[in-house]
Amino acid sequence: MRLATIAFLPVLLWAQDSGSPPAILPHSPHLLLSAQRLKRLKRDRQRQTPRWINFADRVENEPKSPERGFELALFYAVTGDESKGREAVDWAKTHPCEQRQLALIRDWCPTLVAQELPRTGCPGANDGTLAALRDQLFTNAAAGENTEAEVERDKQVLIEKLRAGNFEDPGELYAGFEYLSAARSVERTDLREEDSRFFTSLPVELLLNVKPNAVEHPDWQTHIAALALVSLDPNLDSSQFLQAWAIEDRQTIREGQGVAYEFLWADPYLPGVGYQNLDPWLYDDHRGMLVGRTNWSATACWIRITPGKLQDELCPEAWQSTPFTLGHLILVPKMEKCVKLPKRNGNETIVIWKLPPGANLNYNDGKTQQTTAADKSGMWRVPANATAQACTATP
């Protein structure tokens, strides 16, 4: 749903020797740095928080950082230090293919950009990835172009790629979340409304997709993707579980390339709910996706079922051939024509799996026989009123 359209006028860029230019048009960063976020970052600087100290130390001591342009521009946006802002602009002139960083420099250091920076023409700039879509949106938005048609064109590709679950490529996930943030600030449109059910549960899905051995020590890009996703809607119940996990002190990035992102996204003032209290499974029948784990330890059994693909780690050898429990979920394999439904002792959810994708099933609801169909992965959530057994329907 489109909320409104704001056309950001381009900042007038004048060379240093052009005489007396007119006043610079009013401008404030609108890519990633909302007014509220920028205020928080400035407060972190004033309080000399560990995240600010780590970030400032990296800016001062890592001149060869691959994210140097981004880091210098962020430092300038927070401090107003013109020497760092000019250094960011100089860096941009010698790195014409760093499309995302150039856009952020243009957006965050507008009064220091003394000439037009390069925008296009680099190999792989339009390769169809979420990163490429993000980079192009950043570039056009920072240049003051109308991006309404671009966002409308990209939104289905973006959402389908996120639905597919790029959890093994956290860089792509993160790029998608940056796109969502930019679309909302530049075009005043919340693309999550295109599939509110999916985006409401996405924070929990991201958390459950962290492998057992990475729960306490995830890679930095997964950690940053989690913080960026929380920022899109901190008030969601699912976001508060993810926030509690992502903001843990033991996960704070204290060195390396992720330090600037940690400073940008981590908000310790947001509430969090202990993720250890989360029932550790999620089933989406629309996508035919189930992900879950037996507990939150590093030795937990972890599974993910999607159309045509089964992944598992650290699970008992026979788990696929017997009813298996993940929290309050009972996963029952369909081994014969009919499967006996286990009794519920409380609020358990029962999912039958190993069905032919889309297969019809018959079951009795206590009054009449009902017919339903398995999802595209061959799973079916058993209704609470189903009795006795469920059988695949005879063609």
Chain segment 96-122, per-residue pLDDT in tens: 999 999 999 999 999 898 666 766 557
Tokens of 112: 């220091």
Task: Give the range among 14-23, 111-120, 130-139 with minimum mean pLDDT.
Answer: 14-23
Range of the domain at 333: 281-392
In contact, 330 and 324? CB cutoff 8 Å: yes
Q: Are residues 161 and 285 in the same domain?
A: no
Given a cut of 80, whether residue 211 has pLDDT beyond it is yes
Q: What pLDDT score does 39 carry?
A: 96
Same domain (yes/no): 325, 358? yes
Residue 307 has which token pair? 């159309």
Q: Report which of 281, 286, 246 is spatially closest to residue 267, judged by C-alpha positions.
A: 246
Which amino acid, residue 375?
A: D
Looking at the fold, whether 313 and 176 belong to one and the same domain comes out as no
Are 184 and 48 a contacting pair, CB within 8 Å? no
Q: Extract the runs of DSSP E, i.e. beta strands, from the chain.
A: 281-284, 289-293, 302-306, 309-313, 324-326, 329-333, 338-340, 349-353, 360-364, 369-373, 380-381, 387-392
Residue 245 lies in a domain: no
26 within a domain of the structure (yes/no) = no
- Is pLDDT above 60 for 21? no
- Where is the domain boundary, 232, 266, 300? 266
In a 13 Å sphere around the CA of 346, the CA atoms on its Cβ side amount to 3
Choose the final residue of a domain: 209, 241, 266. 266
Q: How many domains does the chain have?
A: 2
Give residue-wise pLDDT tens across range 311-361.
999 999 999 999 999 999 999 999 899 999 988 888 899 999 999 999 999
Residue 145 confidence (pLDDT) above 80: yes
Query: Has residue 182 got a pLDDT over 50?
Result: yes
pTM for this prediction:
0.89
**pLDDT single digits (tens) 233-249:** 999 999 999 999 999 99
Same domain, residue pair 120 and 259: yes
The rounded mean pLDDT for the chain is 89
**Per-residue DSSP letter, 342:** P
Structure tokens, 264: 């940008």
Rounded CA separation 195/50 (Å):
37
Q: Write the secondary structure of 213-267 as one string of H (helix), E (strand) and C (coil).
A: HHCCCCCHHHHHHHHHHHHHCCCCHHHHHHHHHHCCHHHCCCCCCCHHHHHHHCC
Q: Are residues 262 and 353 in the same domain?
A: no
Residue 67 lies in a domain: yes
Distance CA 136, CA 146 (A): 12
pLDDT of residue 22: 30
pLDDT band at 28 (very low <50, low <70, confident <90, very high): low
What is the per-residue pLDDT across 67-94, written as a single tens digit (0 to 9) for each?
Answer: 999 999 999 999 999 999 999 999 999 9
- Same structural domain for residues 317 and 183? no
The whole-number average pLDDT for the span 114-134 is 75
Q: Look at residue 338 in the predicted model and tell me its pLDDT.
A: 93
What is the mean predicted confidence (pLDDT) over 175-194?
A: 96
